[in-house]
Structure 1
Amino acid sequence: MRLAKFITRNGTASWDGHYNMATGAGDIYQVGQLKNWNYSNRTRFYSGDCGRIHGSAGELWPPFRARDDKIDMFVPDLCKSIALDYCDDVEVSGAMGYRYKASASILDNGTLDSSTACFCGGRCSPVGVLNVSSCRFGSPAFVSYPHFYLGDQYYLQQVEGLSPDKDRHEFYVTLEPTSGIPLDVAARVQVNILLEDRPNVGLYEGIPTLYMPVIWFEARGTVTTDQVSSLAPLAALPTLVLACTLTLLTLGALLVAGVAVYWWLHPETSAHFLERRCQKRSATKLDHSLSPLVKDNKKSESIILKVRSSSSRKLCLSVITRQLPRALRDEDSHIAPSVTLTSDPDTRIPT
């Protein structure tokens, strides 16, 4: 039998809090990344770096995942951010995805890594449980994976009937690598109560210290085959864009190469084209480009134009030398001087 014990929590800010996350505008790799929880970038439950809020809220993930990337997500039930490590490529309803799993380090209290000692909350226990008393109204609540999966043997020896199993108790998230869309999610958590000897309370007097499992639950979601079919075009989009880009670049390169080869095989055609182009340019720009030359050499018998050694520039100026005498003659009705074209690598004449 399955119970919807927490169904009233769905869509309620009173349970999960208020989220402020990045939209991805300006940086698509920030989409879905949590900036504030309950209007703060830190929790008040853990000190130091342990109280820093970061990672995804769980619904939106950045695209273009890499296998060696870790994914961070904030879990309000734990009042902390957790990091999941890549473990395998899996197929979900016909779609390939990267699976990221939660490790024992998420429930470490300084045993594996001294920097996680700030999660002790005044009581450092062996690896496998996380003290969430401060974010659960001071109740002696400790969170673990179901059946103390990945936990220290200390917990398994306290209670009978425990049988940790990877397939049934692992916490993981599977993402489609191109879009970052979750394909399969299994969030599995167990709530435990710390029981201790209380001399003044008859019910607890003389009992050993132990972490008693109360309930474990699973939040599970998997995409269907129909949903995967609608994701296929989105997943293929980067490949299509790349293919189109390479195709256009190839066609452009072939076009340029074809024109170059044609001009090389038909030099008379290329020369004729350049001459016609120069005639059009010189007809419209002669007054602006050579007006100082015209004004200063009205009465000269000869003019020498010096130009850098460039075949196209020489060709254009050769056209100008044929037009310049007529321009000088039209200016003052004088006999046009002769115009000579010569090469000078140190002189630049505008064309």
Structure 2
Amino acid sequence: MVHAGVKFGVPLAVGTICMCLGVALVFVLDNVVHSMVNTQMTISNSSATYDTWQDPSIPVYMQFFVYDIINPYEVKHGKELPFVVQKGPYTYKEHRPKFDINFNENGTVSYRQNVTYVFDRSMSSGWDNETLTMINIPLITVSNLARYLPDLLQTLIEALEKVSGAELFMKRTVNEVLWGYDDEMLKFIMNITGNLLIKSAKFGLFMGRNGTDDGIYNIYTGSDKLNIIDKWKGEPSLSWWNDDYANMINGTDGSLSPPYSDRSKPAYIFSSDICRSVFVMFEKEVEVKGITVNHFVSNAYLLGNVTFNPDNGGFCTPKNNCPPGGLLNASACQQGAPIFYSLPHFLYADKDVILPCMNPNKEEHQTFLDSDYVTGISMRIAKRLQINVHLTRHKAISDLSEINEVYYPVLWINETYTIDDASATKYKHSVLTPLYVTRIMPWIVFGIGCLIVIITLILLIRNRRRGYQTPLHGNSIQENHDKEPILGGATA
């Protein structure tokens, strides 16, 4: 019996220990992985992410879709709503190296990021010197500023517009509208008023943004607040809007987030392009290059009217003068130009804003962010934004004296980033494979323990059954008793 106890007791003990060890490893290895990720996902001169953070090798593409108007005469005279045709994309490859990098004692790093745009013909529908008929934004901007001037100055501005030959609609190349051109009307005005009314005789929607940076960023470097913006241009908040909430600088730049972020909460991104922070909400899990990621999207709540989203009251400029749902009045941060931002084709905007020629749909026009839950690395991004001009009737300006009020779409952008094949493969080998091993190893150990216990129990049961089944041969026992001597073996 002692031999049998040792024979079956040892493997039972080993199997039980393996089972307990497997369960314990589930929690131990999970904490180890968390600790390793938090150690690696920091921004420092020696961290694994530093080189990629400082000078991203994966290209970012900026696509411009420009609207060409078909019925300028009818719109000018208030006969029809604008009918525009989308042209493009006109694609530019971005390069975004960081410079003037300084690590600070409070766990932050400050830097500037130089952004350059290079036209990519292979990803474009045509050359960016294509001529289109577009709205004259300088004329509308000056006319908008003139509304608040005395009648005499309004008359002077109208005369300057006539002398310069400015008209509501103009022929310009895509390149000019994007990166800038000399405007004759602005020249005339500057010759008379100097810098009093306007600051430059050139105009371009993205003028001055190619080969430049948008200011000093100060971000956190530790994994718990990784890449979260602390300050921009030396300030912890903005000054364009009407309350503290609207002026908050929230979140990251979208390229990197803290590891293990709670996907039930909004992911905030600060964009200097639109002068505010925005948010995206988790929708579902998707795959990017074979990597399962969290898919965050913009929704109707982001730019909803104040009835639908009361938080947007702070973005109403002037105060309490709120635009329809789906629009952001950015004139406060665009030098008084009546620029309104929306999602492309007025996605999620109020119905009376959407022109009949627009075709909004989520797949093409929704902003989204695909982020890895473990590391916080963004695997795919699409920032989509439409630039619109608010046209309103102005009796003192002949070109605007008959026009109907409308939010006129100028162009929309699609700024995209997708992890490349080489980086995705590297990520799988360095993160996913070790993570898979650490997750499956405890269950392998637990399974081996279960198997040992099960096999041992089966063998033990079989052994006991054999002990109860010793064969009996006729009356051999009785016969042996008959042959035994009685009284110690005495015989007669």
TM over 0.5: yes
Whether the aligned pair in 2 keeps the contact of 1:107 and 1:128 (CA below 8 Å) is yes
Equivalent of 1:43 in 238, 247, 265? 238
How many Å separate the matches in 2 of 1:43 and 1:6?
29
Whether the aligned pair in 2 keeps the contact of 1:109 and 1:118 (CA below 8 Å) is no
Task: Provide the identity percentage.
Answer: 24
The residue correspondences of 1:78-117 to structure 2 (distance < 5 A) are: 78-117=274-313
Distance 1:5 1:244, change over 3 A: closer
Describe the SS at the equivalent of 1:81.
strand
Whether the aligned pair in 2 keeps the contact of 1:194 and 1:212 (CA below 8 Å) is yes
**Structure 1, unpaired ranges of 5+:** 249-351
Describe the SS at the equivalent of 1:85.
strand
How many Å separate the matches in 2 of 1:84 and 1:57?
13
How many Å separate the matches in 1 of 2:94 and 2:421?
26
Distance 1:226 1:5, change over 3 A: closer
Distance 1:91 1:109, change over 3 A: same
Q: How many residues align?
A: 246
Q: Can you list the C-alpha shifts for 1:5-39, whole angstroms capped at 9, x where unaligned?
A: 79697266955322110001xxx120000000111
Whether the aligned pair in 1 keeps the contact of 2:242 and 2:316 (CA below 8 Å) is no
Distance 1:237 1:39, change over 3 A: farther
Equivalent of 1:182 in 378, 388, 412? 378
- TM-score (normalizing by structure 1): 0.64
CA-CA distance at 1:172 after TM superposition = 0.3
How many Å separate the matches in 1 of 2:341 and 2:267?
21
Q: Can you list the C-alpha shifts for 1:147-198, whole angstroms capped at 9, x where unaligned?
A: 0011110111xx3310001111010000111111111111100000000000
Residue in 2 aligned with 1:152?
350
Distance 1:63 1:7, change over 3 A: closer
Amino acid at match of 2:311: S
CA-CA distance at 1:57 after TM superposition = 1.6
Amino acid at match of 2:364: R
The residue correspondences of 1:167-316 to structure 2 (distance < 5 A) are: 167-232=363-428, 233-238=430-435, 240=437
Equivalent of 2:115 in 10, 15, 18? 10
Identify which range, 232-241 or 45-54, moves more after superposition. Answer: 232-241
Describe the SS at the equivalent of 1:50.
coil
Residue in 2 aligned with 1:21?
219
RMSD: 2.7
How many Å separate the matches in 2 of 1:125 and 1:5?
32
Residue in 1 aligned with 2:272?
76
Equivalent of 1:165 in 354, 361, 373? 361
Q: Can you list the C-alpha shifts for 1:65-114, whole angstroms capped at 9, x where unaligned?
A: 34323211101111111111000110111111110001122213413122
Residue in 2 aligned with 1:64?
260
Describe the SS at the equivalent of 1:104.
coil
Equivalent of 2:228 in 28, 33, 50? 33
How many Å separate the matches in 2 of 1:6 and 1:44?
32
Describe the SS at the equivalent of 2:370.
strand
Over alpha carbons, which structure has the higher Rg? 1
Residue in 2 aligned with 1:133?
331
Distance 1:121 1:127, change over 3 A: same
Whether the aligned pair in 1 keeps the contact of 2:299 and 2:348 (CA below 8 Å) is yes
Residue in 2 aligned with 1:316?
none
Describe the SS at the equivalent of 1:51.
coil
Amino acid at match of 1:3: Y
Distance 1:225 1:144, change over 3 A: same
Whether the aligned pair in 2 keeps the contact of 1:109 and 1:120 (CA below 8 Å) is no
How many Å separate the matches in 2 of 1:21 and 1:169?
29
Whether the aligned pair in 1 keeps the contact of 2:115 and 2:212 (CA below 8 Å) is no
Distance 1:87 1:199, change over 3 A: same
How many Å separate the matches in 2 of 1:104 and 1:193?
21
Q: Which has the higher contact order (CA 8 A, sep 6+)?
A: 2
Amino acid at match of 2:292: M
CA-CA distance at 1:217 after TM superposition = 0.8
How many Å separate the matches in 1 of 2:287 and 2:295?
10
How many Å separate the matches in 2 of 1:6 and 1:109?
35
How many Å separate the matches in 2 of 1:188 and 1:113?
21
